[in-house]
Amino acid sequence: MRVAAIQLRSGTDISANIETASELIRQAASDGARFIATPEMTHILQRSANQLFDAIKPESEDPGVKAFGALADELGIDLLIGSLAIQTGENRAANRSFLFGADGQIKARYDKIHLFDVTISETETWKESKVYDSGKKAVMADVDNARLGLSICYDLRFPHLYRHYAREGADILTVPAAFTKPTGEAHWHTLLRARAIETGSFVIAPAQGGDHEDGRSTYGRSLIINPWGEILAELDHDEPGVLVTDINLDAVEAARRKIPAWNHEPPFQMIEPT
């Protein structure tokens, strides 16, 4: 199975971002990729809530949904748009992944469950819940012979989600992201490899990278990792680009057979300290 991860540096202009992403998706498809994934917030990165809501639309009117569905149909690919900002109400939005099938139809939607409400430093604080509503459902979908488990960015820090996906038969975990530079430098590779190792799954993690128009900086370094935790392909920079590689789904069963950790979970009781 030939797969691709697209790395972007999305700005505040939705039309320009769609055009840039589409060019890179075409490049990946021309290199033979049949499943292609883009990062979180593919068509807009905008810190200002007021300006965000001036730009975004409900799903039925969103230009990204229309453009990327048409592109998947044209190229005959499965296309995961890591997420789009979708208006859901007055000053409320969803951080929503869309999986388009080769016919251009939406095969799955996933709303980010774990919202990025953190204080990284005295000068960098994020409160995603001020704008976005948390998703409530884990979502799986089929791509060719593979089963996907969908997630977005900060979800990566919550291993029970990925454990659930693997138990339900996921072969590939997708982690589209816009990691901050400090957290990316400290944790990106470690967390992604850990999720692959813990679950015996492939991990495809397309990222945003570089200095964005809205003032934020993201880490980049998009990755594709095998079920043994080995990095199969990586963009070792912040620039927009395309990462394409072949994966063998037999590696999932092989990794889980070597270390059947799920059979080694005896019940235990928490003992209160005396």
pTM of the model: 0.95
* Nearest one of 40, 36, 96 to 71, comparing CA atoms: 36
Helices 63-75, 14-30: axis angle to 10 degrees equals 10
pLDDT tens, position by position, 160-214: 999 999 999 999 999 999 999 999 999 999 999 999 999 999 999 999 999 999 9
Q: Say whether 198 is catalytic.
A: no
Instruction: Please give the tally of structural domains in the chain.
Output: 1
Q: Say whether 112 is catalytic.
A: yes
Cβ atoms < 10 Å from Cβ of 17? 21
Residue 103 forms part of a structural domain: yes
Pick the catalytic residue from 40, 107, 128, 181.
40
> What pLDDT score does 126 carry?
67
> What pLDDT score does 118 carry?
72
Token pair recorded at residue 67: 């453009």
Residue 159 forms part of a structural domain: yes
Residue 147 forms part of a structural domain: yes
What's 114's domain CATH number? 3.60.110.10
Residue 268 forms part of a structural domain: no
User: Which segments in the chain show pLDDT lower than 70?
Assistant: 117, 124, 126, 262
Beta carbons of 203 and 195 less than 8 angstroms apart: yes
CA distances from 3 to 6, 14, 223 (A): 10, 25, 11
**At residue 172, what is the residue type?**
I
Which residue shows structure tokens 């889980």? Answer: 256
Q: Say whether 127 is catalytic.
A: no
Residue 271 forms part of a structural domain: no
Domain that holds residue 221: 2-259
> What pLDDT score does 154 carry?
95
Residue 60 forms part of a structural domain: yes
Judging by DSSP bridges, how do beta strands 217-219 and 78-89 pair with one another? unpaired
Measured between alpha carbons, how far is 232 from 194 in angstroms, rounded to an integer?
15
